[in-house]
Every structure is written in C-alpha cells, then in structure tokens.
C-alpha cells in the first residue's frame, strides 16, 4: 500500500454544486422499495405509509412536458467596459454565493464593446447565477453581478447595465 | 604503507568497533563531495539532496565510490589514507590493508554487481585497470590484481558504474563518448556519443538498465536509456554542482521507493511526459512547502492517463482556474493560487501533437505571490482548434522544462479546449455538470415507471460566433440499462441538416477511444448521431446481474463515456430554440423483439421526450397503438391518455430508481410537480429529494 504524503491548508469554503450537495455516499441497502414517512410520522414513531398512488395513475395536461429547465436571456450593456477588452462568464457560484465556479459555467464569451446578448437554457435548480465581466488586464479586477430567478416572471432575464 | 599504518593506528583510537553494513539496497544514490569528504543522499528522481554526514573520519577527499551489493558497504578511495576505504551505515571510514597497491590515488572506481570485487582505474602512464577482491573468505582477499595497462585502456573518464545484469562497466568521457568496459579482459567498446560534454564525476545505474551521469559543472543529472538502445543523454534532474564529485548507488534498486510516495507527478497522457520512465515532470514534496492550490499528494509514479491521481488519490489539480476560454490569437486569463512565492512555468500543446514542444511555453518563470494571482497570457494565433492539455509547474527553481525532476513545488496538468477567435461557448447544464435523460422502453405499452430502461447523462456545448453555429459537442455517460429489450441511442440536432456537418472532421469517442465513424446516420436529411445500435454492445456483461446498473449490488459496473464532436462546414444559422440537450432518443435494435405491438420495427421504432416529434426514420403507423395517445395534428407525441411520458429529462446527474421501483417511491416530490404542471417542486429530481434506499447512488 502506497503511503501518500498529504499537505493541505484550511479551506475557506468547500465546493458545493448549486442546489445543495449531491454527493451523498449512501447506497441502497435492499431491493424492496421503501416509502418515505410523512412529516407527522417523522415527529413520532417511524411508520411506513403505503403509497396512495403510482406514477401510472397520475393525470397531467397533454401540453405539460415535464421540463426541468427554463429559458434565460442575458443582456449586458456596460458603458464602463466599452472600449476595453473584456470577457463575460455566466456561472454557478462556488457555494459562497459570491465567486463563480469556473468549472460550472453556462456561458463564456468575449464581449463586444461592453455588450453581450445571449439566450440560453438553464437547468431548473440553477436558480441563482453569477455574471462576471473579466478584463484582460492583470491590474483590473472583475465586475460581478448576481442574478436570482424570479418565480413571478414567465420570461427570465438577466440585465446588466 | 607506513602512512597507512599510522592512519590505521589513529583511526583505531577513535573507532570503537566496525560499522554495520547498510540494511537495504537503497533507492537513493550516494554522492561524495569536497576536499574534506562529505557524503550526501541524492534522490535521482528529483535531484534533491540531503547531507548524510560531513564527518567521515578523514580530512581528505574520497573518490571512486562504489556500493557493494554483496556486503552492502560503500567502498571508495581515501586520499588521506591512500588506500581503499570501507564505509558502513554510520558513515565512518575504515581503511583497509590492501596488498600490492600501486603508488597513486584513484578517482575512477566501482564495485562489480556480479563478482565481489572493487575495480579502480587510472589512465596515467604505467597504471591502468585494477581489481581488489572483497571476499573475506578468499585467499586473494584485499590483494590488488592488474587487469590491463593504461596503454591498452586509455580513457578520459571520471567515474564508472556497473550495469545491474551484464557484468560490464560503463562510463562517459569529457567529450560525451559512451564506453562499455569488460573488466575481465580490460577491453573497451565505444558505443556512441551521448550528446553532452563535460566532467561526469558521478555515474549510476538503476535496475532497469538506465544509466545516469551527473555533470560536475552544473549538477545536471542526465539519463541514458541504455537497455532500450537510446544513447542520447536527456536532462533528468538538477543535482548539486561540485568540482569534486563521485557517486555510487545500488544498481539493482529502482530509483524510487514504491512505498515512499513523496513525489508529485503530472496527469497528462504519457506522450507529454508524465511517468517516471518518460522522464515526466515531477516534484519532490516538501511539507508545508510550495505548491499550487490547497491540496497536493505524492505518489511513486504517474497514474497514467486516462487514470489520474484525481481518481486514485487526492484531487489536487486545484491551483489553476481558467477564468476565460482559450481562443487562438487572443489573451486568456487564469487565476493561479500558490502557497508561497515561487516561479511558474506553463505549456500549452498548441499543435495538438501530444507533446509540449519548445515554443509552447506560454508562461515562463513568472514570479507568483503567495495567494491568488491573476495572470494573462496569449494563445498563439498559430494554435489549432481542438482538445489539448496544459501543464503548470511551480518551483523555487527557474528555467524548468516540461519534463524532468526538481526538488520542490508541484505540477498540475489540465485538459483544455482551444477555440477559434471570438467564439462564444454555451453549456448545458454547465461546463462540468450533467443532465440526464431516462427512458421507458415498452412504448407504446406503458412501463413500470422505474424510469431506468435506458439512462444517459448528457452535457452539450454550443460554440457559436455572431449567432452562427461553429461546432456542437455532445458529451455523455451511459449510466443504466434496465430493460430487457435491446435499444440503440442517438441524439438528433433539431433544425440542423446532415450536409451542414463537416463530416470528415466529426468524431465519436467512446471511453477515450476515437471510433472509426463519427456516428452521423447515413442517408438522412436530419443530423442524427448514433452512439450505438445496441447499447448492450458497449457494456461488459454484468456478473450476477440481469441488467446494467439498476439492481442493488450491481452498481459497480463502469459507466461508458462518449463524446460527439460536430463541426460545421460553414457557419450555420442557429435554429430557434437550439439549446439544452437537443433531442436524445432511443430506437429498437434491428432484428430484435420489441413487444407484440411493434414486432421487429427496428430503427423505425423510436421514443422521444413528450411532444417531441420523431425523425424521418420513424414508422408513424406505430402511433396510437397500445397506451400511446399521440396526436400529431396537435403536436402531441409520446404520451399516454393521461399525459404521461415515456422519457424524462432532468437537469442534473440524476440518480435513477432501483429496478422495478416506481418513480414516485424514489422521488415523492415528482407527484406534485406533475400534477401542478411544474409549478411546484421544480427541483423534485435533486438527490436530496430522493428516498436514498430506492435509488442507485453511484
């Protein structure tokens, strides 16, 4: 067995995908399906509740397509970036809700005179995103903009002006 | 001799007993330096040295060092004692009473691997090659024998070393000529020129027949792959420079201890130089030392791509973030985090030839501050579009190349994509995320809604420029096959025609192997890319399992990775709503049974997501059979009378239900989602919403 030398520093935040941790290590322990207990049951003794329906018994509208995504339009028009060489990222956050996770970006594009217009599809659970304007100048910090899904709107937009 | 006797008497006053031999045949080399001898351990892998002793019990120098496998002592020539010395694990010299010594000192010598004898050489007039028997049981013990006169063997060499197997000795003279020496006959053979000149005062072998030579002037250790017939000396590591060097090591030992995983290697494919045998980039780990990011791990060799220490060890490729894309002719921005100040070098394979060529050093000896560093570098305009690799090395040493060992720091390798200038990249669901499409394959008969007959993770990348498509990439993982029917899987690009695809450049890779064909379906107007006509052909036959990764206890089978790379002939106008997972679908494997209602429909049988129309290959007469309530005139497809689908798409790396477990038992929130037309529980598919015991969680 190899002996591995581990050297680490204390991290300020762990990498967590948007929507919460999806890295549970638990595995099925048996092949018998189990029913999730109801909230009232969870307060007291554990009770296995028989399912009151099966998927095949559901009835849904013929037009409902079970979509797990939504359309988003990104509209950037930044006068402060006009005339400068800049790049735009639209990414999920690293879990601190402040910094972009560059391994989870949805759009990456050079900007044109401080502008960018992009329509895209976003997975439903990505309900908050970070827009970053990056300058090709080591001395100049990025500009960050934060977007959260507005459930009251049918058409989602992220406007940066 | 009188001098020797005096020295022996002086030494006995201080030495209380004979020193013990070394307990092992060590992987490290020994290096003797300086006019008052000091001895160092040298890690040939990294060039790192550590002082073993600066007091060997002599004020003179020691040279012609050799390690004796037979008794595990070091032997060398002592200039103060003017005789052969023996050195044990306490690094104290023991002068030996050798008979018939010639009247000179030696700086060329080693102990034979095959016979228990020390060999020393001088090219001076009247001298030559000598042997000293080291077998204490022999009648010739410590008796010098002359093998050949220097008039017959006249080489300008500074050390020699014995090969681990063949009984021959080797050396390199100051002009770079490599000699093989038969110590029995005294004959030498010129093998060639190693391409480097200088005084090579310390030379060594390893167990694989690699010959290492250390140049005194700059300490560079070169490797010559002698047993492979490669005679050119390649720089291997940077060791210490010294005007008075000699070295020795146990020739039958590997140069790295497999149990001493204290070297960091890269993860790029070995063509770039990652493994030890490829002289890969490697850094000796220093506790609390300089490295990239927050994590580093050590290993005894590179994991060899497509494996990586990300899979086998610690995910320590964490020091570099690509803030922008890499586009030909444009600047790129990266964020580099270092634990200390140090020098960064980086290489980008711009011509996609699998090698970091000279001229691909895009960042050179850039001084980093401790913490985060924003760096801008230029991707050459001559770079080719495509998938490539980038290597980052940080160290306190400057002028590092893409390969070879060094004494500290870290190497991190990253797969990258080089894009055309000004290309926009759009990812679904994200640049490293996965969405999932899951099928029931009994259509037009309703299935059991365990939603795992075919399960595929998908990620799409759209490269466009000014609204025109340049390239589409569809990456995927075949995750599960839970149905007894045989199905193929394909992705249709809606609104794109087959003849708009640059067919000679389109590729399909499966588990990193480029396939002979791109997957573009022939004789179709639409652009349809087929992964396989029968998905069962892609997976290993499950052991003790009926299906692929849908039963408890059957989760360990490997998922199958694939990638369609689809460039276009010329910029294609982007169709409306062209995003997301496009149109993935399954079709029946031709010649296989797929239910009584469809018989052997084969390719003409397809299942798409609800209300997605089939392709031109489909047999429309199948609509309306069984439980299918499709109504093409209303653009209703693939739904039951109750509006239920045969395919679902989730925006994450979805964990599918266990075999025969109903979807509602695995994901209870799906019910409210469905009944509310998606107004409630839009995140029903997330893992934290699942009943863990009812899903396959790997």
Return the minimum-mean-pLDDT range out of B248-252, B330-334, B608-612: B248-252
Q: Measured between alpha carbons, how far is B153 from B183 in angstroms, rounded to an integer?
A: 11
Closest-CA distance, A77 to chain B, in angstroms, reads 16
Average pLDDT over residues B238-253: 84
Q: Model confidence over B170-213: pLDDT tens digits?
A: 999 999 999 999 999 999 999 999 999 999 999 999 999 999 99
- Residue A22 pLDDT more than 70? no
Q: Is the pLDDT of residue B53 over 90?
A: yes
- In the structure encoding, which two tokens stand for residue B120, read together? 């020393």
CA–CA distance, B221 with B172 (Å, rounded to integer)? 13
- Among candidates B552, B643, B686 on the partner chain, residue whose Cβ is nearest the Cβ of A30: B552
At B529-552, the pLDDT tens digits run 999 999 999 998 888 999 999 999
Digit-coded pLDDT (tens) for B7-26: 555 554 444 467 899 988 88
Q: The tokens of A63 are what? A: 């037009």
CA distances to B55, B225, B527 from B523, rounded to whole Å, are 83, 53, 10
Task: Note the pLDDT of residue B311.
Answer: 58
Give the whole-angstrom CA distance, residue B509 versus residue B532: 12
pLDDT of residue A7: 43
Q: Is the pLDDT of residue A37 over 90?
A: no
- The answer for residues whose C-beta is within 8 angstroms of residue B390's C-beta and 6 or more apart is B346, B347, B348, B349, B413, B414, B416
pLDDT of residue B323 exceeding 70:
yes
Q: Stretch B218-247: mean pLDDT, rounded?
A: 90
- Say how far apart CA A160 and CA A152 lie, in whole Å: 20
**Which residue blocks in B595-695 are alpha helix, DSSP H?**
663-666, 670-675
Structural element, H or E, at residue A41: helix A39-43
Query: What is the pLDDT, as a whole number, of residue B173?
Result: 96
Highest mean pLDDT among B252-256, B426-430, B483-487: B426-430
Shortest distance between the Cα of A104 and any Cα of chain B, in A, equals 5
In the block, residue with structure tokens 């099966």: A54
What is the share, in percent, of chain A residues with pLDDT greater than 70?
A: 67
Check B430 against A51: CB less than 8 A apart: no
Mean residue pLDDT across chain A: 75
> How much is the pLDDT for B411?
96
A22 vs B289, B686, B694: nearest CB:
B686
pLDDT for B241 equals: 82
Token pair for B316: 């320590």
What pLDDT shows up at residue A42?
34
What pLDDT, on the 0 to 100 scale, is given for residue B7? Answer: 53
Residue A152 contacts B, CB cutoff 8 Å: no
pTM exceeds cut of 0.80: yes
| Structure-block tokens of residue B615 | 């392709």
CB contact under 8 A, B652 and A30: no
Q: Pull the structure tokens for residue B606.
A: 């397809």
**A17 part of contact set with chain B, CB < 8 Å:** yes
The pLDDT of residue B294 is: 84
B324 and B332 in contact (C-beta within 8 Å)?
yes
Residue A25, pLDDT score: 30
Task: Classify residue B636 as exposed, middle or buried by CB count within 10 Å of its CB (0-12, 13-18, 19+).
Answer: middle
- How big is chain A, counted in residues? 161
Phi then psi for residue B210, to 5 deg, are: -85, 135
Residue of chain B with shortest Cα separation from A55 = B664
Q: Band of the pLDDT at A11, cuts 50, 70, 90?
A: very low
pLDDT at B176: 97
- Measured between beta carbons, which residues in chain B are less than 8 angstroms from residue A118? 424, 426
CB-CB under 8 Å, A6 with B297: yes
For residue A61, the chain B residues in CB contact (below 8 A) are 643, 677
| Cα separation values, B61 from B35, B106, B118, B600, Å | 5, 11, 18, 88
CB B453 within 8 A of CB B447: yes
B405-406 vs B282-284, strand pairing mode: parallel
Q: Cβ distance A17 to B433 under 8 Å?
A: yes
Whether residue B33 is predicted with pLDDT greater than 60 in this model: the reply is: yes
Residue B612: what pLDDT? 98
Residues A123-154 have pLDDT tens digits of 999 999 999 999 999 999 999 999 999 988 88
For B338, B371, B407, the CA distances from B222, given in Å and listed in that order, are: 30, 34, 15
CB atoms within 10 A of CB B584: 25
Nearest C-alpha of chain B: how many angstroms from A152? 11
Sequence length of chain B is 698
Residue of B681, B682, B690 to mutate, interface with A, max A Cβ within 10 Å: B682
* CA nearest to B203, candidates B182, B226, B228, B229: B226
Q: Considering only the beta carbons, identify the residue of B376, B631, B683 that sits closest to A125.
A: B683
Give the model confidence (pLDDT) of B419-456 as tens digits.
Answer: 999 999 999 999 999 999 999 999 999 999 999 999 99
Determine the pLDDT at residue B17: 60
Cα B136 to chain centroid, rounded: 48
Per-residue pLDDT tens over the stretch A57-91 = 999 999 999 999 999 999 999 988 878 889 999 99
Q: Phi-psi category of B608—alpha, beta or left, where left has phi over 0 and alpha has psi -120 to 50? A: beta
The chain-wide mean pLDDT, for chain B, equals: 92
A6 band by pLDDT with thresholds 50, 70 and 90: very low
Distance, CA of B493 to CA of A10 (rounded, Å): 46
| DSSP structure string for B296-318 | EE-BSS---TTS-HHHHS-----
pLDDT of A116 above 70: yes
Q: How far apart are alpha carbons B688 and B698 in whole angstroms?
A: 14
pLDDT, residue B5, reads 59
Each residue's pLDDT tens digit, B405-423: 999 999 999 999 999 999 9
Strands (E), B163-229: 169-172, 177-182, 187-193, 200-205, 211-215, 220-225
- B367 touches A: beta carbon within 8 Å: no
Contacts of B677 in chain A (CB under 8 A): 60-61, 64
CA angle A129, A107, B316 (to 5 degrees): 80
């Amino acid at each position: 067995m190899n002996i591995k030398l581990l050297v680490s520093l204390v991290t300020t935040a762990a990498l967590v995908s948007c929507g919460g941790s999806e890295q549970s290590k638990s595995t099925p322990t048996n092949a018998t399906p189990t029913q999730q207990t109801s909230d009232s049951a969870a307060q007291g003794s554990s009770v296995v509740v028989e399912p009151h329906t099966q998927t095949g018994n559901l009835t849904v509208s013929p037009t409902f397509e079970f979509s797990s995504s939504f359309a988003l339009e990104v509209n950037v028009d930044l006068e402060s970036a006009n005339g400068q060489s800049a790049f735009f990222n639209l990414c999920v956050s690293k879990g601190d809700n402040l910094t972009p996770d560059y391994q989870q970006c949805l759009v990456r594009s050079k900007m044109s005179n401080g502008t960018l217009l992009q329509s895209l599809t976003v997975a439903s659970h990505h309900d908050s995103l970070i827009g970053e304007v990056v300058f090709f100048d080591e001395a100049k910090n990025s500009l960050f903009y934060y977007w959260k899904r507005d459930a009251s709107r049918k058409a989602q937009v992220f406007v940066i002006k | 001799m009188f001098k020797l006797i005096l020295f022996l008497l002086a030494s006995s006053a201080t030495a209380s007993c004979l020193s013990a031999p070394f307990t092992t045949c060590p992987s490290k080399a020994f290096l003797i330096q300086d006019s008052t001898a000091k001895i160092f351990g040298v890690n040939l892998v990294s060039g790192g040295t550590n002082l073993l002793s600066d007091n060997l019990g002599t004020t003179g120098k020691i040279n012609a060092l050799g390690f004796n496998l037979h008794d595990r002592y070091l032997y060398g020539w002592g200039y103060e004692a003017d005789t052969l010395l023996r050195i044990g694990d306490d690094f104290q010299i023991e002068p030996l009473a050798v008979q018939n010594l010639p009247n000179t000192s030696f700086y060329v010598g080693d102990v034979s691997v095959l016979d228990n004898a020390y060999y020393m050489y001088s090219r001076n007039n009247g001298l030559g090659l000598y042997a000293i028997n080291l077998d204490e049981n022999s009648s010739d013990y410590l008796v010098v024998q002359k093998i050949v006169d220097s008039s017959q063997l006249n080489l300008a060499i500074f050390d020699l070393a014995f090969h681990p197997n063949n009984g021959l000795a080797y050396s390199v003279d100051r002009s770079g000529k490599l000699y093989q020496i038969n110590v029995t006959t005294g004959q030498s053979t010129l093998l060639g020129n190693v391409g480097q000149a200088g005084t090579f005062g310390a030379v060594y072998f390893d167990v694989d027949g690699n010959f290492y030579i250390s140049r005194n002037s700059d300490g560079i250790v070169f490797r010559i792959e002698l047993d492979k017939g490669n005679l050119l000396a390649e720089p291997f590591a940077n060791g210490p420079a010294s005007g008075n060097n000699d070295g020795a090591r146990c020739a039958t030992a590997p140069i790295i201890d497999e149990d001493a995983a204290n070297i960091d290697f890269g993860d790029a494919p070995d063509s770039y130089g990652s493994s030890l045998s490829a002289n890969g980039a490697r850094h000796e780990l220093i506790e609390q030392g300089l490295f990239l990011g927050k994590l580093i791990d050590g290993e005894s060799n590179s994991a060899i791509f497509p494996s990586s220490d990300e899979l086998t060890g610690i995910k320590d490729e964490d020091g570099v973030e690509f803030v922008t894309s890499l586009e030909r002719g444009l600047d790129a921005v990266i964020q580099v985090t270092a634990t200390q100040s140090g020098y960064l070098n980086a290489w980008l394979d711009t011509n996609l030839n699998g090698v970091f060529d000279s001229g691909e050093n895009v960042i050179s000896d850039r001084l980093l501050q401790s913490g985060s560093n924003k760096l801008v570098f230029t991707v050459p305009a001559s770079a080719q579009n495509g998938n490539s690799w980038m290597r980052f090395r940080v160290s306190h040493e400057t002028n590092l190349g893409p390969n070879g060992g060094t004494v500290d720091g870290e190497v991190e390798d990253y797969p990258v994509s080089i894009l055309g200038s000004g290309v926009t990249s759009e990812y679904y669901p994200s640049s490293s995320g996965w969405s999932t499409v899951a099928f029931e394959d009994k259509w037009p008969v309703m299935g059991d809604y365990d939603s795992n007959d075919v399960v595929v993770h998908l990620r799409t990348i759209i490269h466009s420029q000014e609204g025109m498509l340049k390239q589409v990439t569809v990456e995927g993982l075949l995750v599960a096959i839970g149905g007894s029917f045989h199905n193929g899987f394909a992705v249709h690009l809606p609104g794109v025609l087959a003849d708009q695809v640059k067919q000679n450049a389109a590729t399909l890779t499966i588990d990193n192997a480029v396939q002979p064909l791109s997957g573009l379906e022939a004789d179709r107007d639409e652009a349809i890319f087929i992964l396989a006509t029968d998905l069962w052909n892609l997976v290993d036959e499950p052991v003790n399992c009926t299906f692929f990764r849908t039963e408890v206890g059957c989760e360990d089978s490997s998922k199958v990775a694939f990638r369609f790379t689809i460039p276009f002939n010329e910029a294609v106008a982007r169709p409306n709503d062209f995003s997301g997972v496009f149109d993935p679908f399954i079709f029946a494997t031709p010649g296989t049974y797929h239910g009584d209602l469809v018989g052997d429909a084969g390719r003409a049988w397809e299942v798409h997501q609800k209300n997605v129309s089939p392709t031109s290959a489909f047999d429309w007469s199948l609509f309306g059979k069984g439980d299918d309530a499709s109504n093409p005139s209303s653009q209703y497809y693939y739904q039951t009378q109750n509006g239920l689908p045969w395919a679902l798409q989730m925006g994450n790396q979805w964990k599918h239900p266990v075999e025969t477990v109903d979807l509602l038992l695995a994901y209870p929130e799906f019910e409210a989602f469905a009944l509310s037309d998606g107004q409630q529980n839009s995140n029903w598919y997330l893992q934290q919403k699942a009943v863990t015991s009812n899903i396959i969680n790997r």
